[in-house]
Amino acid sequence: MFGRQMIRWIILLAATGIFLAVIANPVWWETAMRFFFPEETIVIHPRASLLVLVGEHIQLVAISSGITIIVGIPLGIWVTRPSGQDFLPIVTDITSFGQTFPPVAVLALAVPALGFGLVPTVVALFLYGLLPVVRNTIAGLRAVPESLLDIAYGLGMSRWQTLFRVELPLSVQVILAGVRISVIINIGTAMIGSVIGAGGLGSPIIAGMALTNTALIMEGAIPAAVLAILTDQFLSNIESSFTYTPGKV
């Protein structure tokens, strides 16, 4: 078990290293693009280097997902406690609504209030990514068998002790799966940030679409896809490090 886990981390580390090397060397990228798209005169986004674009993108995702996690998990915990139970339907409704509401529409509504740039984008991404985190937190906590809660309280654990020693350890995998889905969605959705000047990998795509330049679109799309895959692997590695020998309860 330990060996397999280690191998997965090593592969991920190697892949990340290659990815960083490629985006840090604009010459390599440019050469490759010129080979695939010989007819284009511009193959690299002129505003910023690929490294900067990826950095901006990661920053957008990190901030918005960070807030999503910080808000989403406690929210999910709260509505499964006796004190917050009454709010469970409202919270699930609102978070579902947040996801059905298109992020572009959120942007359109947020710009008048918050202006251009990072802040409205983060708000849109936060709302959009909240549902998977909240939903999985609720689902994970609810899946903890009643008998285990009974025995936890019966042995003398307080509500907090039961939450941290029994409920969260048993639902951590489900919660992390929700976080992973949310972050991956955010990596894709963060593209729209560049519409209102938040930068990121959306910038070359928008420029590419304006100029009908496939090379520029690729400059946004490929790194974003690789970023999503690497992040997914990273988070699922963390997730599986929480497995215990499964069995009957």
Catalog residues that contact another protein under the rule CB under 8 A: 145, 147-148, 150-158, 161, 165-166, 169-170, 244-249
Distance in Å, CB of 127 to another protein, minimum: 33
139 or 228: CB nearest another protein: 139
Write out the two tokens for 156: 């003398």
93 or 150: CB nearest another protein: 150
16 CB contacts (<8 Å, ≥6 apart)? 230
Distance in Å, CB of 149 to another protein, minimum: 9
85 or 243: CB nearest another protein: 243
Distance in Å, CB of 58 to another protein, minimum: 33
Rounded to whole angstroms, how far apart are CA atoms 124 and 106? 6
Distance in Å, CB of 166 to another protein, minimum: 6
Distance in Å, CB of 146 to another protein, minimum: 9
157 or 211: CB nearest another protein: 157
5 or 158: CB nearest another protein: 158
Which DSSP letter does residue 247 get?
A: -
Rounded to whole angstroms, how far apart are CA atoms 236 and 230? 10
Distance in Å, CB of 249 to another protein, minimum: 5
Rounded to whole angstroms, how far apart are CA atoms 46 and 65? 29
